[in-house]
A and B are shown apart, each in its own frame.
Chain A
Amino acid sequence: MRGLVPIAGIILLALLPLVGLSTYMMHILILVIMWSVIGMAWNLLGGYCGQVSFGHAAFFGTGAYTAGILYLKLGVSAWWGFPLSIVVVGVMALIIGFICLRLRGPFFALATLAMGEVLRVTAENLRGFTNGTLGILIQKRTWVEKTWYYYIILAIAVFTFLLIRRLVNSRLGYYFLAIREDQDAAESLGINTTLYKTVALLISAILTGFAGVFYMNYMGYIDPEIVYALHDISIITIMVVMVGGVATFWGPAVGALIMVLLAELIRSLPRIGTAHQSLFGILLILIIIFLPNGIVGDFPKLKTILRRRA
């Protein structure tokens, strides 16, 4: 029975565009699914392997720029960003991993944060290559309609979900958890912690890069402030996972849904709209206090609370 839930979910999502949703609704759905991908990717490294990254914008941005520069400099379709980003983001992840993975806990988090910022500043200054702060604009987007974009990001999300579920249930998943729980114990029990942390980072980075490639193609415009953003990408990624549930399969998707809807809601409010970052901050604090394992992780607790109210 439980195995059928994802399949039913996928079929439902695949049929959704046929209902005839508004362009706005489709846009929201696409954003939710894209953030689910980023959240799932982060969750593999941060949630399962315990390496909390504050710099996932580095991979999102590099994916987006790989696609953008292909279009800008070589004049080929930005969709070629998908295969090429595997190499570019992969190499980037290996470099970042080499520098940051020797650090532990908060030091790793700070180092990744710095990496994201370094890449943002670099992208701003390499004007000849990236167009700097002017950004990259795709003159003519592939489709005017949203449907195909929807199916593409849905396919990426399904692939990501299945891949991560498979990894987590395998030997690799046990190694990730062992590293998260106690790196010294893991190492002394025969687990090559450096290697497996690098593997987790590599997979997480490439999947996040895919979301970046998609973003370039879908939005048609990027600049360093947008795709290498510390707050709007790196921090929101962590919030998506924390709100939904760290180290849970469905947490990132639930977190993405809530965060995207909340962002839309708050932004549409007349006066407080501009304070959405503060409101997100308050939300994060509330979540950490009352639902430290996120909505999915603390679902049993949430149910008993709601039942008591009723």
Chain B
Amino acid sequence: MRPLLELKGVSKFFGGLAALVDVSFTVNEGEVVGLIGPNGAGKTTLFNVINGFYKPSKGEVYFDGKRISGLRPHRICRLGVARTFQVVKPLQRLTVIDNVMASAFLRSPSRQEALERAEKILHFVGLYEDRETVSKNLPLGKRKKLEIARALATEPKLLLLDESFAGLNPKEQAEMIETIKKINREGVTILIIEHHMRVIMSISNRVVVLNYGEKIAEGSPQEVASSPEVIKAYLGETAVA
């Protein structure tokens, strides 16, 4: 098992607020790692640090053995890290296919190649029928798929998924689980933020738990689910007592 992503003592402060405190963990090549924690725990902030939107206040991030903290997001993406956004950010007035092409150009400079890659990816995530739809007219479920399609078009080694399941109905959730498993089978390593425990249990090899910016647990889904620390964080003191 080769480590692909390594966080070493990462902290992030917003003024007096400590959004991340000394967080360290590793994601190995080929894994699906779940990142969970209550609202405001610092999960999205961690993604913003990994993908370069924020510089860590302390600590370092390594990807593929190379230090990436401090690089700009487009450089980090070029190295092989792609992400989706919790609050989806489609290129509103562009069609679905144009959205995906805009990212596909990163690895295929010619228009024809970019188009072919984009079409392939739309088939893969099940958005091909909607390729000519202007993305602001898509329902939420499809926008979440578009986020993933766009990220995949950059041919990432590591995919960061921020709550891809939020707002999906059970049928869409089942499809999404299949899609993510398929992406992982293609060799893409995945770090996924998720609130639905059922989803996390069914797709992750390992789970990292954040609470108030600190890592409070790490292990297999079963280990984490039975950890008193985690139960306390999720349910509050009273539930444990």
Q: Which residues of A contact B101 (CB under 8 A)?
A: 174
A23 at the interface (CB under 8 A from B): no
CB-CB under 8 A for A175 and B102, given A188-B53, A190-B154: yes
B82 at the interface (CB under 8 A from A): yes
Question: Which of B104-112, B181-189, B200-208 makes up part of the contact surface?
Answer: B104-112
Q: Tell me whether B103 and A171 are in contact (CB under 8 A).
A: no
Q: From residue 58 to 77 of chain B, which have CB atoms closer than 8 A to chain A?
A: 72-74, 77
CB-CB under 8 A for A189 and B77, given A174-B105, A184-B53: yes
Q: Tell me whether B102 and A186 are in contact (CB under 8 A).
A: yes
Mark B83-94 against chain A: 1 for CB-CB distance below 8 A, else 0. 101000111111
Shortest CB-to-CB span from A256 to chain B, Å, is: 24
Q: Which residues of A contact B111 (CB under 8 A)?
A: 169-171
Q: Tell me whether A182 and B92 are in contact (CB under 8 A).
A: yes
* Cα of A177 to Cα of B101 in the assembled complex, Å: 11
Q: Interface centre among A169, A171, A184, A189, by most B CB within 10 Å?
A: A189
Q: From residue 136 to 177 of chain A, which have CB atoms closer than 8 A to chain B?
A: 169-171, 174-175, 177
Q: Which residues of A contact B109 (CB under 8 A)?
A: 171
Q: Tell me whether A178 and B102 are in contact (CB under 8 A).
A: yes
CB-CB under 8 A for A189 and B93, given A170-B111, A178-B102: no
B55 at the interface (CB under 8 A from A): no
Q: Tell me whether A188 and B51 are in contact (CB under 8 A).
A: yes
CB-CB under 8 A for A190 and B103, given A181-B93, A181-B94: yes
Q: Which residues of A contact B77 (CB under 8 A)?
A: 188-190
A264 at the interface (CB under 8 A from B): no
Shortest CB-to-CB span from B135 to chain A, Å, is: 9
B196 at the interface (CB under 8 A from A): no
Q: Tell me whether B53 and A189 are in contact (CB under 8 A).
A: no
B120 at the interface (CB under 8 A from A): no
**How many pairs, one residue from A and one from B, have CB atoms within 8 Å of each other in the complex?**
72
A191 at the interface (CB under 8 A from B): yes
Q: Which residues of B contact A193 (CB under 8 A)?
A: 74
Q: Interface centre among B78, B91, B153, B154, by most A CB within 10 Å?
A: B91
Q: Tell me whether B154 and A189 are in contact (CB under 8 A).
A: yes
B91 in complex: contacting residue of A169, A171, A181, A192, CB < 8 Å: A181
CB-CB under 8 A for A187 and B92, given A171-B105, A171-B109, A174-B98: no
* Cα of A285 to Cα of B52 in the assembled complex, Å: 41
B158 at the interface (CB under 8 A from A): no
Q: Which residues of A contact B106 (CB under 8 A)?
A: 189-191
Q: Which residues of A contact B98 (CB under 8 A)?
A: 174, 177
Q: Tell me whether A177 and B91 are in contact (CB under 8 A).
A: yes
Of chain B, the residue at the smallest CB distance from A192 is B74
* Cα of A218 to Cα of B85 in the assembled complex, Å: 53
Shortest CB-to-CB span from A180 to chain B, Å, is: 8
* Cα of A184 to Cα of B72 in the assembled complex, Å: 11
Q: Which residues of B contact A192 (CB under 8 A)?
A: 72, 74
A185 at the interface (CB under 8 A from B): yes
* Cα of A178 to Cα of B114 in the assembled complex, Å: 15
Shortest CB-to-CB span from A194 to chain B, Å, is: 8
Shortest CB-to-CB span from B187 to chain A, Å, is: 19
Q: Which residues of A contact B72 (CB under 8 A)?
A: 187, 192
Q: Which residues of B contact A171 (CB under 8 A)?
A: 105, 109, 111, 114
Q: Interface centre among A169, A178, A192, by most B CB within 10 Å?
A: A178
Q: Interface centre among A185, A188, A192, by most B CB within 10 Å?
A: A188
Q: Tell me whether B102 and A174 are in contact (CB under 8 A).
A: yes
Shortest CB-to-CB span from B34 to chain A, Å, is: 21
* Cα of A171 to Cα of B89 in the assembled complex, Å: 20
Sample of 24 A–B contacts (CB below 8 Å): A169-B111, A171-B105, A171-B111, A174-B98, A174-B105, A174-B114, A175-B105, A178-B94, A181-B94, A185-B89, A185-B150, A186-B102, A187-B72, A188-B82, A189-B74, A189-B77, A189-B82, A189-B102, A189-B106, A189-B150, A189-B151, A189-B153, A191-B106, A193-B74
Known: A186-B91, A190-B103. 11 other contacts (CB 8 A): A171-B105, A174-B98, A177-B91, A181-B90, A181-B92, A181-B93, A184-B53, A184-B89, A186-B102, A188-B51, A190-B154
Binding site for A on B (CB under 8 A): 51-53, 72-74, 77-78, 82-83, 85, 89-94, 98, 101-103, 105-106, 109, 111, 114, 150-151, 153-154
